[in-house]
Structure 1
Amino acid sequence: MTAPSLEFKQVHIALHGRTLLELDARLAPGEVLTVMGPSGSGKSTLLAYAAGFLAPAFQASGQILLGGQEITALPAERRGIGLLFQDPLLFPHLSVAGNLRFGLPRATPDKAAKVEAALADIGLAGFGQRDPATLSGGQQARVALMRLLLSAPKAVLLDEPFSKLDMALRHEMRQLVFDQLHAAGLPSLLVTHDRDDADAAGGQVIELGPVGRERSRNARPG
């Protein structure tokens, strides 16, 4: 099965009549689009629009296509998009293995074996029965990433996923996350304040100014 592309066609988002951003971009499978800008520039608003939970106060137009299918009007749960946030958001009432099983589609055969393989893939073999609260911040971030990947999304949204990690872990987690997304062929939208995140992601970088107008760096034609 061919991995999908993610496309933003003539996307325009405004608030109270003021344009926050305008975007035309196409992401190939495994490519990351990084959107940077100060608070209030519209980058998190773009993420919310792509995910399907944009607040009613915003006015948005344009199309989002995933694998050639328009998903703009679909509810969030039907878009096939996974999200990775600043916090791991692991379920405290589930074990590490339970958190990973939660990510697997319901009809997945031999879930236990897949969970064990996933833990080994992120260097946490044997951690399945651990309480998530006993893991370090970096270990929790790894579990959150793998839970996302096990859910088999068609595209991924990254909301400053490295911002709460200490400096020693950021480089390691950037490499792990972007390597995994590239290997899975997942087009991804990264929202960040950190220039090092953008450099690690590669691909297109769009910088939003205070009024939300975009300025592309290292952009490639779509």
Structure 2
Amino acid sequence: MAEGLRLRALRIKHGDRPLLELDLTVPPATILSVMGPSGVGKSTLLAAITGQMSADFGLEGEILLNGRDLCPLPPQERRVGILFQDHLLFPHLSVGANLAFGLAPQVRGRARRARIKDALAEIGLEGFHNRDPETLSGGQKARVALMRMLLSEPDLLLLDEPFSRLDATLRSQMRDLVFTFARDRALPVLMVTHDAADAEAAGGPIVQLES
């Protein structure tokens, strides 16, 4: 049975200065919110989990995902998906080609086309395969970015303020969509946010980091 994300006696330092200490578990289908002021280490925590932490930071402890120790693994082998404030769609690729980027290379031909078609239907964008991403609304771009990440079949979802640039109505819709997708797939989720409404909507535990 999946164990989710486990941060065991995790300590991060910036040079000789302690930045944060955490010991926590995020079970499958649970959304844990991490809050705190700028500079307290929220983005550094995400970088540590994805394997992209700057060399001037030091890490002690363990990062376990479903029992696997992530620390020795390169980023591409960690099976961690992340959504950012910016949707980061490739402007030179169509919507369908952006989604295809999330698929494993061994998914080819007819199976690849079918997966993309089904993915577009799942996010309510049937017929958008050949659309230029720049012609999409903010909400449509967010849905494509979410589905591209999910097509990579991650075991963990990280959210780095992904709703902060959306208006109130769209923000609520996207929160519901992301949280529902994550729970339906039994993914553990760690969300960094400055917005208490995001944390409340997540319905999970909240960790408050202090400077």
TM-score > 0.5, shorter chain as reference: yes
Gaps of 5+ in 2: none
CA offset at residue 108 of structure 1? 2.1
Q: Which residue does the alignment assign to 1:130?
A: 131
2:205, 2:105 → 1: CA distance? 35
CA offset at residue 17 of structure 1? 2.3
Q: Which residue does the alignment assign to 1:30?
A: 29
Q: Which residue does the alignment assign to 2:40?
A: 41
CA offset at residue 26 of structure 1? 1.0
12-21 or 83-92, larger mean C-alpha shift: 12-21
Q: Which residue does the alignment assign to 1:177?
A: 178
Q: Which residue does the alignment assign to 1:87?
A: 86
CA offset at residue 71 of structure 1? 0.9
Q: Which residue does the alignment assign to 2:113?
A: 112
Q: Which residue does the alignment assign to 2:15?
A: 16
Q: Secondary structure at the match of 2:141?
A: helix
User: What's the C-alpha RMSD, in Å, of the aligned pairs?
Assistant: 1.1
Q: Secondary structure at the match of 2:182?
A: helix
Q: Secondary structure at the match of 1:138?
A: helix
173-182 or 73-82, larger mean C-alpha shift: 73-82
Q: Which residue does the alignment assign to 2:160?
A: 159
Deviations 1:139-188 (Å, cap 9, x if unpaired)? Answer: 00000000000110111111110011112200000000000011111111
Deviations 1:20-45 (Å, cap 9, x if unpaired)? Answer: 21111111111112110110111111
Q: Which amino acid in structure 2 is aligned with residue 197 of structure 1?
A: D
TM-score by length of 2: 0.95
1:4, 1:88 → 2: CA distance? 29
Checking the alignment, whether the CA contact within 8 Å between 1:4 and 1:187 is kept in structure 2 is: no
CA offset at residue 4 of structure 1? 4.7
Poorly superposed stretches of 4+, deviation over 6 Å: none
Does 2:142 correspond to 1:141?
yes
1:32, 1:17 → 2: CA distance? 32
How many aligned residue pairs are there?
Answer: 209
1:128, 1:19 → 2: CA distance? 48
CA offset at residue 3 of structure 1? 4.2
Q: Which residue does the alignment assign to 1:100?
A: 99
2:37, 2:30 → 1: CA distance? 23
Q: Secondary structure at the match of 1:103?
A: coil
2:105, 2:187 → 1: CA distance? 21
1:121, 1:178 → 2: CA distance? 15
Q: Secondary structure at the match of 1:98?
A: helix
**Kindly tell me: are residues 125 and 4 of structure 1, through their superposed partners in 2, closer, same or farther at Cα, counting changes over 3 Å?**
farther
1:162, 1:36 → 2: CA distance? 14
CA offset at residue 16 of structure 1? 3.1
Q: Which residue does the alignment assign to 1:215?
A: none
**Kindly tell me: are residues 129 and 4 of structure 1, through their superposed partners in 2, closer, same or farther at Cα, counting changes over 3 Å?**
farther
Sequence identity percentage: 53
